[in-house]
Amino acid sequence: MSSLTTEQGIVHYEVYGRGRPVILLHGWLGSWGLWQETMTFLGGNYRAYALDFWGFGESGKKRDSYKIEDFVLLLDEFMDRLGIIQAPLVGHSMGGTVSLATAIRFPERVSKVTVIGSPIDGHSLTLPLRLASKRRVAEIVHRWMWGLKFGIRLAAPLITRDRRWYEMIARDLSQTTLDSFLLSIASLYATDLTTQLHEIQAPTLGIYGTRDNIVHPKQWQPLSAHIPNAEVKIIEKAGHFPMLDAPDTFQDTLTKFLASDHSAT
């Protein structure tokens, strides 16, 4: 387990492999743990870094803000502290939104972007997540966390076919605070990158599952419409977690994109 101290607190991360760096970013309520298998198959050719955003996993939790722009600044400082000048970003869900926002604000940092089931417009979030962005609802849900875990257990087969997912999310939920739970999803819900996508010059890949019931599965359309030469991979019968539902297709798609020699224009 590795960590570094930033001006805003301690950031936990894991690293695996040798070669050029690639940075993996998790989604809302998640942690670096989602990426363990991805780090394994990337590790033969890349040095894969997976970090926990503030308020999630093992990273610091005593903050006043957990907005998307805060995570963008965290990523910039993380790369600076580790001496990573530029790298591909691979983000799932909220992590993909952070990746795109980073490519807009710090284009010199980003060589490629891969987003997986990520909302471009926060209004594409499913109704329960939109409700979770309301303080009163979040306070009730966080106070009765056992009820949330029970509901997720019941819904898990509809979210992903991977039976390990519930254990991962239950563990990660136990490490979130009310503020990190509420403020991050409220910021994601309020985010809309559509009108800024044209600023992204880095090669971009969107991976989306047709059965995603967390983020609207057609959020790939803004990528295709507004980012020059964006690539899109639609995985049939995969949900919000293509890396779990269709690991072979996901791994093949990601490795080919990372290895491709197209450059930013």
Query: Over the chain, what is the mean pLDDT?
Result: 93
For 9, residues 6+ apart whose C-beta sits below 8 A from its C-beta are 54, 59, 60, 61, 62, 63
Give the DSSP per-residue string, 118-140: --SBGGGB-HHHHHHTSHHHHHH
pLDDT at res. 13: 96
Bridge partners, 110 (sequence order): 87
Which residues pair with residue 208 across a beta bridge? 234
Q: 246: which residues sit within 8 A by CB, 6+ positions away? A: 209, 235, 237, 238
- 26: tokens are 């998790």
* The predicted structure's pLDDT at residue 198: 96
Q: How many CB atoms lie within 10 A of CB 37?
A: 14
The SS3 call for residue 57 is coil
Q: What is the pLDDT of residues 99-113, one digit of tens each?
A: 999 999 999 999 999
Q: What is the pLDDT of residues 78-92, one digit of tens each?
A: 999 999 999 999 999
Q: pLDDT of 141-191, one tens digit each?
A: 888 888 888 888 999 999 999 989 999 999 898 888 888 888 999 999 999
Q: In the numeric block, which tokens belong to residue 33?
A: 């743990």
Cα–Cα distance measured from residue 174 to residue 29, given in angstroms and rounded to the nearest whole number: 9
Domains and CATH numbers, the chain: 2-259 (3.40.50.1820)
Beta bridge mates, 27:
none
CA distances from residue 223 to 77, 107, 149, 202, 214 in whole angstroms, order as listed: 26, 17, 33, 12, 18
Q: Higher confidence at residue 125 or residue 136?
A: 125
Structural contact between residues 220 and 232, judged by C-beta atoms closer than 8 angstroms: yes
Q: H helices within 60-177, ranges in order? A: 68-81, 94-105, 127-132, 135-143, 145-159, 165-173
pLDDT in tens, 235-263: 999 999 999 999 999 999 999 999 998 64
Q: CA 161, CA 244: separation in Å to the nearest integer? A: 8
